[in-house]
């Protein structure tokens, strides 16, 4: 297989690569969302403990 | 085995053990994904009927399998939480839902992209497609229910019941291509006789399916650990973890060795 054939995908390039692009997007979202959630939870927990100590 | 499971059921041990598993799971995912993509997109020959468009299968089929697996996992974890009142199971069920929903969406979307050149249409109301769409709505309903109910225990219980009732849809999705005469093709891998697919095309599929499966567990544990910290905020180990200056990965690892 050559690079041209690889990109062209026998005429189905647009379909194949949009399917793989969408897959990449879903995989990345599944990684980014828990990382963001972890930062949020840690920040919330710190505030929660600060409030508790302040009381 | 039971001692190990018992340890896992303890939130503190779960948090520390899974913290050490995640990098390994992530590495195994990357390895399977890289090999699967290389074999599937570069090495495997074009299909004699579908040309190169069949390569969409390598993301479509693993996504569809995972969408079913995650749902069964979520319903089973929900049932365990319901019966044994186990907080860890609730965390896992709640964390699985968004991952499952995203892969159900991916299965439907890649299916539409594959359907257009092969069937000439993005969508048909056939049994397989419709039941998979219902699966997406079940996931979304579960997530909406979790967001609507304030108390996490009540939310977990309500969610578990929804998930268990909804699981009747799972065999319907699986057997839909056999029970009804549909546009969607029948199974080629999970047949009892020899799979109707050449090894050079089968291997990348199995590797991609394994990669998706490992990825699910990686991101599931990442989600469940955050969920756990918040739910366990009143317990001492979380307080100690958070008030010890900053929680760096190295500090967590020291904490984990007894």
The tens digit of pLDDT for each residue in A2-38 reads 788 888 888 888 899 999 999 999 999 999 999 999 9
From the candidates A25, A42, A45, A49, which should be mutated to test the interface with B, based on the most B CB atoms within 10 A?
A: A45
Amino acid B116: pLDDT: 86
Between A49 and A23, the more confident residue is A23
pLDDT surpassing 90 at residue B175? no
Segment among A12-26, B142-156, B182-196 with least mean pLDDT = B182-196
Nearest to A42 among B55, B114, B247 (CB): B247
How confident is the model at residue B192, as a pLDDT?
52
Q: Going from the N-terminus, what domains does chain B have, and what CATH number goes with each?
A: 14-232 (1.20.120)
- Average pLDDT in chain B: 87
What ipTM is given for this predicted complex? 0.91
Per-residue pLDDT band for B212 (boundaries 50, 70, 90) equals very high
Residue B99 and residue B78: Cα distance in Å, rounded? 16
Enumerate the residues of chain B whose CB falls inside 8 A of the CB of residue A37: 223, 226
Kindly determine whether residue A26 and residue B113, on different chains, have CB atoms separated by under 8 Å: no
Q: With an 8 Å Cβ cutoff, are A34 and B63 in contact?
A: no
Q: What are phi and psi of B51, to 5 degrees?
A: 65, -140
A6 vs B247, more confident: A6
Specify the pTM. 0.88
Q: pLDDT digit string (tens) for B77-107?
A: 999 999 988 888 999 999 999 999 999 999 9
> In B, what residues contact A, Cβ < 8 A?
41-42, 46, 51-53, 55-56, 59-60, 63, 98-99, 102-103, 105-106, 109-110, 113-114, 116-117, 215, 219, 222-223, 225-227, 229-230, 233, 238-239, 242-243, 247
- HSE-CB at A52 with a 13 A cutoff on CA atoms is 10
Kindly report, residue by residue over B132-141, the tens digit of the pLDDT. 999 999 999 9
Q: Where are the domains of chain A?
A: 29-55
Q: What is the pLDDT of residue B69?
A: 96
Helices vs strands, H then E, count in chain A: 2, 0
Mind listing the pLDDT tens digit for each residue in B59-85? 999 999 999 999 999 999 999 999 988
Report the candidate in B205, B252, B212, B202 with the shortest Cα–Cα distance to residue B25. B212
């Amino acid at each position: 297989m050559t690079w041209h054939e690889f990109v062209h995908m026998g005429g189905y390039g647009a379909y194949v690569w949009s399917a793989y692009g969408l897959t990449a997007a879903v995989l990345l979202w599944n990684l980014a969302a828990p990382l963001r959630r972890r930062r949020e939870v840690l920040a919330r927990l710190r505030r929660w403990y600060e409030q508790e100590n302040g009381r | 085995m039971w001692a190990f499971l018992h340890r896992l059921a303890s939130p503190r041990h779960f948090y520390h053990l899974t913290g050490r598993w995640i990098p390994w799971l992530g590495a195994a995912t990357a390895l399977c994904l890289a090999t699967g993509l290389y074999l599937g997109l570069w090495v495997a020959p074009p299909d004699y009927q579908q040309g190169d468009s069949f390569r969409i299968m390598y993301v479509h089929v693993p996504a569809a399998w995972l969408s079913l697996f995650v749902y069964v996992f979520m319903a089973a974890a929900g049932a365990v939480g319901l019966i044994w009142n186990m907080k860890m199971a609730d965390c896992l069920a709640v964390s699985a839902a968004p991952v499952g929903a995203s892969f159900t969406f991916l299965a439907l979307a890649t299916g539409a992209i594959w359907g257009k050149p092969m069937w000439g249409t993005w969508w048909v109301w056939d049994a397989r497609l419709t039941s998979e769409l219902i699966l997406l709505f079940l996931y979304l309903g579960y997530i909406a229910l979790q967001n609507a109910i304030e108390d996490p225990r009540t939310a977990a219980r309500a969610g578990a019941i929804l998930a268990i009732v909804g699981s009747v849809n799972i065999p319907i999705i699986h057997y839909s291509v056999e029970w009804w005469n549909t546009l969607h093709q029948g199974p080629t891998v999970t047949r009892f006789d020899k799979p109707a697919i050449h090894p050079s095309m089968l291997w990348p599929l199995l590797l991609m399916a394994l990669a998706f499966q490992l990825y699910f567990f990686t991101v599931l544990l990442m989600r469940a650990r955050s969920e756990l910290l918040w739910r366990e905020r009143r317990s001492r180990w979380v307080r100690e973890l958070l008030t010890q200056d900053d929680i760096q990965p190295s500090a967590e690892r020291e904490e984990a060795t007894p």
